[in-house]
Structure 1
Amino acid sequence: MPLSLTKRGLMLLMRAIGFFIGLFGIAARAFDFPLRHCGSRITQPTSEPLLLLSGVQLAKLIRRRKVKCIDVINTYIDRIKEVNPMINAIVKDRFEAAQQEALAVDKRLSEEQEDEATLEKKWPFLGVPLTVKEAFELHGMPNSSGLVNRRNVVSKSDAIVVALLKQAGAIPLGVTNCSELCMWYESSNNVYGRTNNPYDVQCIVGGSSGGEGCALAAACSVIGVGSDIGGSIRMPAFFNGIFGHKPTSGVVSNEGQFPVAMGAQEEFQCTGPMCRYAEDVEPMLRVMAGPGVHKLKLDKKVPAQKIKFYWMEHDGGSLLVSRVDEELLQAQKKVVRHLETVLGASVQHVKLRQMKYSYQIWVTMMSTKNHDGMETVKLQELLGDHGKPVWPLWELMKWVLGMSTHTFPSIGLGLLEPVLKYDSQTCLVGMLGNDGVFLYPSHPQVAPKHHFPLTRPFNFAYTGIFNALGLPVTQCPLGLNSKGLPLGIQVVAGPFNDHLTLAMAQYLEKSFGGWVCPGKS
């Protein structure tokens, strides 16, 4: 897809601005005094049995009265107290309320004699620890999305998905960190500070659901709620070695989170489950989808042998993003060889030239009007919390003097916003049909060092393209690289074929091991 001369010029401008941002990133790093940790840069591993069970398994033990809910909750609280000072994933806890709710579960089970099948139908996640991205409303918890002038906002109700999970029996332990306004892929803000990767605290956790991915990876939680408009579930899931699912667009409710998606953003933003174990993703999605669950094919079982497989090792060489790490390429090829030799599947290598323009496609789709003709809200307005618009250039000058309340990534995106518009198309949806999946890198690099995203602001295009296309995607962990950082891969399917990616998540977990506890080789 050739670009016009004007578009080529615009691309050069974006690269120049990217370089400018990179220089500021280096300056920011120079003035950012790192946290000093005694000993290891990796969180302590755990061998506590209750921390190493899936949500499904925990709920089963609680329903069968083989373990008390209060013991599960207290075990998780102890784990959070042990490692959270190092990683800063959970930014506000509700431990006392969670303990009271756990005691209520145990009391109910001691007094009622309902059979296990009835209990499972009513409360599929009975007593299971849950964490929630701070951008979502959780009654009694803050809801700032990292914006300083919202630091005193406290939720008076629950977001729809949070309410549904609580009704299913889950017990929230607290809320987790995100990037300012959920607009960046490093979770750091001027309200709560920075979250550190449990596999190496010098590395990022991703964003914007980075605190959620980190809490899950560090065994501080077992199931979590995230949101995704450009990879905000899948990048943190990848950087932290867990499972994260972006559902088909328009199925799971986005209500009850800040910022409120408007215009095209409303159509492409997705709320979805984040989990340590693959078997929790599908039951979580069933609960979170609520009345929209009938749109999905979650009851349809498709043997892996019946799935058509396609793969592509990189985007084709975009000048805006990094090259894919060699160890990520090798991990992907290992999956392909496994599918061919063990499963006996035919895995077709494809070259979709449109993927080279993933960032441009995403920007175009996010900049259009929705079906009702509503304009997308500008970042300048969001930074002002829908009050007086914030002028990015003025904020940049204030930031240089240490006087701005906003983070540099938010200011940089505000500066770039007026020039980031392109148009394109894709043939991926037609290729996948209703029985195909596409294997694609989750990100061009494993979790980089803090501030590195400032030098590579467009790397999120590897995930963002699938928001623009409205496709279901599951990020699946594939073990650790030579430096002990998580590897992973995206599994993509056609619209409303989430069941295919979820089935592959379970298959890949069985074949490659899934989540690896930090600190364990």
Structure 2
Amino acid sequence: MSREKVSRDRETKKEKSHRRKSKTNRICKEVVINLLKKLYFFLRLCFDTVVDYIFAMYWESTHQSLPDLDKKHAMLRKSAVALAKEIKNKELKSEELVTACIERIKLVNPVLNAVTDERYEDALKEAREVDKLIEAGLSEEDSKKPFLGVPFTAKESHAVKGMLHTLGILSRKHIRADEDAECVRLLRVAGAIPVAVTNVPEINKWQESRNNVFGQTNNPYHTGRTPGGSSGGEAALSAALACPIALCSDIGGSTRMPAFYCGLYALNPTAGHTSLKGSALRSGKDPTMASIGFLSRHCEDLIPLTKVVAADKAHLLDLDRQVHVKDLKFYYVESVNDLRVSPVCSDLKKAMKKVIYRLSSQAENTEQAPKPYYHEGFNHSFALWRHAMTKEADSFPKLLANNEGEVNGLVELAKKLVGASQFTLAAIFKCLDEQVLPPVPAAWADRLTQQLKDDLLETLGSDGVLLFPSAPAPAPYHCEAFLRPFNFAFWGVFNALKFPAAQVPLGLNADGLPLGLQVVAAPQHDALCVAVAEHLGAMFQGYVPPCRVPE
């Protein structure tokens, strides 16, 4: 045997040995990392349990019950679609409905603190005009208005002509809108009547609807808990059976989060198909991952309302598609391994398992049964959303200063410590996030976002949906979000992907708090989200009122 061959054999053995050691080291490293992650999530669960216990000691004593629904207001149980039909068929007068809405708002708002401004008298006048039109016989144009005579409320960040448009900041506390936001205008064109505007966090950027202008909005299921943000005022009123239509928007869960916390259905449409003009001071000309959406007690309202605000782009969403749920492909994610967010609680895990079990039992074969899905991108849900926010045209520190300069987060934090800041701590933290903390590596985030998007597109196709947790837990106590600031990433990751997503209520837990999950589809397949939401809601109680309602 030649010396060269012996040498080569030795080198080959060394290489093999090195590869074996590398593989062993890599496996050991992965095992250690996985064990450390499990330990971390266990400790995080313990932390969350202790936090809940401490906050409960205060907030449980503050709970106020919501007034029951009177028989004279019983019509408010119905969907906006059903009410519009009754008005056109002369079975119900618009004035009666608007009056019931106003009276119910006056009953529940002292408990919820949701309304920031109202136009009750003007709404009643407009309702009487609708009734006169119907009595005289509708023109062809008026007969095509899908929500003729039906009242609606809008989050205060949507401009409603003549109404306060503060966006929750003190420097705008006397500012009123000169004209309607595009989404408000479109609802008016559809025949709907604005009644009031509702509370939001400063510039819509927090998980609670609290600001220094109007204070804190409460959850109708438990007033010691948050209704979420930024459409928290809308969700609180809707769940309390106070208004048939709730006009929202969503850039990081702002429609779906309040819907989940308040036990409602919601749809955040595919990004780029609704106009943000006049909403949160936006021009409507810049690309955005935000969408105009609605939440409702009735799933049947979501598609007709989305058609209104999508306007001439509605056909691109294929909202009239006939969907047969039994023919769809189902995938699911039970938990998310993002170290920044809390672990999913047992109540929501059980709810997901029940849904998967029922869908599996309904499947005609194993191929149709729901299948688990996961992608590394979900491990970085918050980071992907945070990076996506850097591509938005508006600047939070500038908007906080009413576009007259820029708020300095460090300065405001120092002022807050001595009680001199006019901003909430949540708004200051958001400024610090943009101005002080290092940015997410752009190339990495773009690459991972695209990989996650591509993989989901291939997996879901045109007939697949992803069932995804709504949040780590049901509605938290007020101010708990400061200790769990990243939990909204369960919603925000789908904003970053620009995928449509529906929120589905699944009844209540043992504490009387709403449960739920999200249904996600590929872009422009919004109809799949709504069809599955309606199917699951019907199977698992859906919306359950937070008060007694007449039979």
- Structure 2: how far apart are the matches of 1:303 and 1:394? 56
Out of 141, 150, 163, the position equivalent to 1:128 is 150
- Structure 1: how far apart are the matches of 2:187 and 2:138? 23
Residues 363, 369 of structure 2: 8 Å contact kept: no
* Matched position secondary structure for 2:116: strand
Judged with a 3 Å threshold, the aligned counterparts in structure 2 of structure 1 residues 121 and 103 are, in CA distance, closer, same or farther, namely closer
Aligned residue in 2 for 1:196: 218
Write out aligned runs for 1:70-85 (5 A): 70-85=95-110
- Structure 2: how far apart are the matches of 1:339 and 1:35? 37
- Structure 1: how far apart are the matches of 2:61 and 2:175? 31
Out of 442, 460, 472, the position equivalent to 2:470 is 442
Q: Displacement of 1:363 after TM fit?
A: 1.4
Out of 473, 479, 487, the position equivalent to 1:459 is 487
Judged with a 3 Å threshold, the aligned counterparts in structure 2 of structure 1 residues 193 and 428 are, in CA distance, closer, same or farther, namely same
* Matched position secondary structure for 2:194: strand
1:42 matched to 2:65? The reply is yes
Aligned residue in 1 for 2:28: none
- Residue type matched to 1:46 in 2? L
Aligned residue in 2 for 1:109: 134
Aligned residue in 1 for 2:87: 62
- Structure 2: how far apart are the matches of 1:166 and 1:36? 42
Out of 415, 425, 428, the position equivalent to 2:432 is 415
- Structure 1: how far apart are the matches of 2:363 and 2:112? 39
Write out aligned runs for 1:176-215 (5 A): 176-215=198-237
Q: Deviations over 1:381-411 (max 9, x none)?
A: 2221221211111101111211111010110
Aligned residue in 2 for 1:100: 125
Aligned residue in 1 for 2:271: 249
Q: Deviations over 1:469-488 (max 9, x none)?
A: 00000011111111011111
- Structure 1: how far apart are the matches of 2:464 and 2:214? 42
- Structure 1: how far apart are the matches of 2:533 and 2:526? 11
- Structure 2: how far apart are the matches of 1:121 and 1:350? 46
- Residue type matched to 1:95 in 2? Y
- Residue type matched to 1:421 in 2? V
Q: Displacement of 1:240 after TM fit?
A: 0.6
* Matched position secondary structure for 2:288: helix
- Structure 1: how far apart are the matches of 2:86 and 2:403? 47
- Structure 2: how far apart are the matches of 1:128 and 1:179? 27
- Name the one with the larger helix percent: 2
Aligned residue in 2 for 1:295: 316
Residues 131, 175 of structure 1: 8 Å contact kept: yes
Q: Displacement of 1:45 after TM fit?
A: 2.9
Q: Deviations over 1:421-477 (max 9, x none)?
A: 141231222211111100001111100000000111111110000000000000111
Judged with a 3 Å threshold, the aligned counterparts in structure 2 of structure 1 residues 106 and 415 are, in CA distance, closer, same or farther, namely same
- Structure 2: how far apart are the matches of 1:129 and 1:512? 29
1:171 matched to 2:193? The reply is yes
Q: Displacement of 1:198 after TM fit?
A: 0.3
Q: Deviations over 1:198-217 (max 9, x none)?
A: 00000001001111111111
Judged with a 3 Å threshold, the aligned counterparts in structure 2 of structure 1 residues 287 and 88 are, in CA distance, closer, same or farther, namely same
- Structure 2: how far apart are the matches of 1:34 and 1:74? 34
Aligned residue in 2 for 1:346: 369
- Structure 2: how far apart are the matches of 1:85 and 1:34? 17
Aligned residue in 2 for 1:331: 351
Out of 309, 321, 328, the position equivalent to 2:330 is 309
Point out the structure with max Rg over C-alpha: 2
1:227 matched to 2:249? The reply is yes
- Structure 2: how far apart are the matches of 1:204 and 1:467? 22
- Structure 2: how far apart are the matches of 1:509 and 1:120? 33
1:52 matched to 2:77? The reply is yes
- Residue type matched to 1:45 in 2? D
Judged with a 3 Å threshold, the aligned counterparts in structure 2 of structure 1 residues 393 and 309 are, in CA distance, closer, same or farther, namely same
Residues 251, 289 of structure 1: 8 Å contact kept: yes
Residues 275, 284 of structure 2: 8 Å contact kept: no
Out of 177, 184, 205, the position equivalent to 1:162 is 184
Write out aligned runs for 1:358-377 (5 A): 358-368=381-391, 376-377=393-394
Q: Structure 1 segments of 4 or more deviating over 6 A?
A: 33-37
- Residue type matched to 2:297 in 1? R
Residues 177, 210 of structure 1: 8 Å contact kept: yes
- Residue type matched to 2:515 in 1? L
- Structure 1: how far apart are the matches of 2:284 and 2:411? 25
Aligned residue in 2 for 1:4: none
* Matched position secondary structure for 1:419: coil
Residues 41, 199 of structure 1: 8 Å contact kept: no
* Matched position secondary structure for 1:513: coil
- Residue type matched to 2:149 in 1? G
Aligned residue in 2 for 1:269: 290
Residues 45, 517 of structure 1: 8 Å contact kept: no
Q: Displacement of 1:107 after TM fit?
A: 0.9
- Structure 1: how far apart are the matches of 2:281 and 2:482? 22
What do you get for the CA RMSD once the two structures are aligned? 2.4
Give the length in aligned residue pairs: 483
* Matched position secondary structure for 2:532: helix
* Matched position secondary structure for 1:440: strand
Aligned residue in 2 for 1:373: none
Percent identity, aligned pairs only, is 38
Moved more, 411-420 or 228-237: 411-420
Judged with a 3 Å threshold, the aligned counterparts in structure 2 of structure 1 residues 109 and 377 are, in CA distance, closer, same or farther, namely closer
* Matched position secondary structure for 1:56: helix
Residues 261, 269 of structure 1: 8 Å contact kept: no
Aligned residue in 1 for 2:403: 386
